[in-house]
């Protein structure tokens, strides 16, 4: 069982918005602003999409956004496109020598 809780699946139609949650505790997600989100196509290298809760690295479409409220971080994908269909993982720093992962969410574009 992963330290951070994500819904196993999420879906939306092209053009819609989808939000994926990542729930931790007051010792990790709720305490540190070091939440990252990764996009992963099976068999490929994961890709950093969001860091430090809401920062988008260069080259990541602005359709991807991140936020946090309390112990739950969220990744929102707006204007869904077919190529957004992938697995998404959140991570959070949890203190010295602790980097926590979520179990992953499979995003399906209907």
Query: Which residues are near another protein by CB under 8 A?
Result: 2, 6, 32, 34, 36, 38, 43-48, 51-52, 57, 89, 91-93, 97-104
Q: Which is nearer to another protein, 71 or 80 (CB)?
A: 71
- Alpha-carbon span 39 to 84, nearest angstrom: 9
Give the nearer residue to another protein in terms of CB position, either 80 or 91.
Answer: 91
CB-nearer residue toward another protein: 28 or 84:
28
Residue 105 Cβ, how far from another protein at the closest point, in Å? 10
Distances in Å between the Cα of 25 and the Cα atoms of 1, 6, 43, 92, 106 are 15, 13, 31, 10, 23
State how far the alpha carbon of 17 is from the alpha carbons of 20, 88, 109, in Å.
10, 15, 10
């Amino acid at each position: 069982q992963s330290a951070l809780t994500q819904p196993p699946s999420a879906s939306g139609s092209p053009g819609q918005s989808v939000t994926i949650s990542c729930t931790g505790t007051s010792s990790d997600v709720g305490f540190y602003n070091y939440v990252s989100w990764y996009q992963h196509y099976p068999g490929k290298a994961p890709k950093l999409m969001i860091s430090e809760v809401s920062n988008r690295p260069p080259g990541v479409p602005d359709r991807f956004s991140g936020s946090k409220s309390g112990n739950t971080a969220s990744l929102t994908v707006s204007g869904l496109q077919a190529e957004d269909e992938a697995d998404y993982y959140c991570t959070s720093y949890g203190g010295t020598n602790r980097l926590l992962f979520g179990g992953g969410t499979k995003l399906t574009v209907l």
